[in-house]
Amino acid sequence: MTDTDKTTHDHDAANENAIAAFFNDGSTPKIGENFRAGFVAIVGRPNVGKSTLMNHLLGQKLSITSRKPQTTRHRIHGILTDDDKQIVFVDTPGIHKKEVKAINERMNKAAILALADVDLVLFVVDSLQWREDDLLTLEKLAQTNLPIVLVINKSDTVKDKSKLLPLMEEFSQSFDFADIIPVSALRGHNLDGLERLIASYLPLRPPIFDPEQITDRSERFLASEIIREKIMRASGDEVPYDLTVQIDNFKDEPAHQDPETGKWRKAVTFIDATIFVERAGQKTIVIGDKGSRIKQVGIDARLDMEKLFGRKIMLTLWVKVKKGWSDDERALSSLGY
């Protein structure tokens, strides 16, 4: 058996053990026989609130967010499990018009591939803005046979609520949606109703993942995404999307007793990361005056990691120029795209 085969076998065995533990005898559920589970893709154009929606449904921040479009670059699974269901959300990059850079092509491909093997699609739109990229996304969805729920996000921004019904009617005439529901991901409005609606479309089946699991992504990946979010937020519009983060070292040090002092030291994870930009001027912006910006990025990222991972983090950041990485197929592959 190869190392890859062994890893896959161990992963499958762990899932089987988790599912077996979830049931009394492998056939009778502990918590009701009507348990539902399935995959739900969250799609839409950039910057309509897909990641915010998933984070608020999960009650935990997994997918990074910012006001800049195309913040999400990878498919991310967020897993919500309770007594009667397990919803595996698939957060995707925003589908947008094809651009010249290779990274944009890969992001569009990742979003479209997310539609494979899902049970339901949430098509998220902005309540006040219907754009060309919305139509592009709808064209892609029309090529599938999946049930599609239209989620009208930011419904709290519609001051006259009586206008929501005509808006929903207008959307319903554009496509044969399985359901239409207005929500506010940021404010948490009607998310309980959306969760119930999602569950009604999922098949009867045992949990797909360990009920304690919240994502299929590694801590290394989550750490790199947190760092990238903090840079995008700190730099405003000064730094475009020509930046990425590579985790160079991720080392866990368990709690231990100091041999010299005899005192117990808490568990800590040491993380070294490199921030790649495409031009020297961008490096200067990311670092900031006398290193002030990169220092604050490190503090903010470390606090988020400690909250998510539940342990102390020691974070070291470097900024380097890697010209043309976002349009270089080999560079994109080496950076995990």
| CA-based nearest residue to 228, from 212, 210, 240 | 240
Residue 101 marked in a binding site: no
Q: For residues 130-158, b (16+ Cβ closer than 10 Å) or e, as one string? A: eeebbebbbeebeeeebebbbbbbbbbeb
Please enumerate in sequence order all residues whose Cβ is within 8 A of that of 313, keeping only pairs 6 or more positions apart, or say none.
268, 269, 271, 302, 305, 306
| CA-based nearest residue to 272, from 227, 303, 317 | 317
Residue 154 marked in a binding site: yes
Residue 95 marked in a binding site: yes
Yes or no: say if 118 and 37 are a contact pair by the CB < 8 Å rule: no
Please enumerate in sequence order all residues whose Cβ is within 8 A of that of 142, keeping only pairs 6 or more positions apart, or say none.
175
On the 0-12 / 13-18 / 19+ scale of CB atoms within 10 A, 18 is middle
Residue 47 marked in a binding site: yes
Residue 107 CB coordination number (10 Å): 24
Residue 15 marked in a binding site: no
| CA-based nearest residue to 242, from 321, 318, 297, 295 | 321
Residue 92 marked in a binding site: yes
What is the DSSP secondary structure assignment for residue 18, as one 8-state letter?
H
| Helix (H), strand (E) at residue 139 | helix 132-142
Residue 203 marked in a binding site: no
Residue 149 marked in a binding site: no
Please give the Cα distance from 228 to 231 (Å, whole number): 5
Residue 44 marked in a binding site: yes
Residue 19 marked in a binding site: no
Residue 188 marked in a binding site: no
Residue 276 CB coordination number (10 Å): 21
Residue 45 marked in a binding site: yes
Residue 310 marked in a binding site: no
Residue 93 marked in a binding site: yes
Please give the Cα distance from 212 to 18 (Å, whole number): 9
Binding-site entries for GTP: 44-51, 91-95, 153-156
Binding-site entries: 44-51, 91-95, 153-156
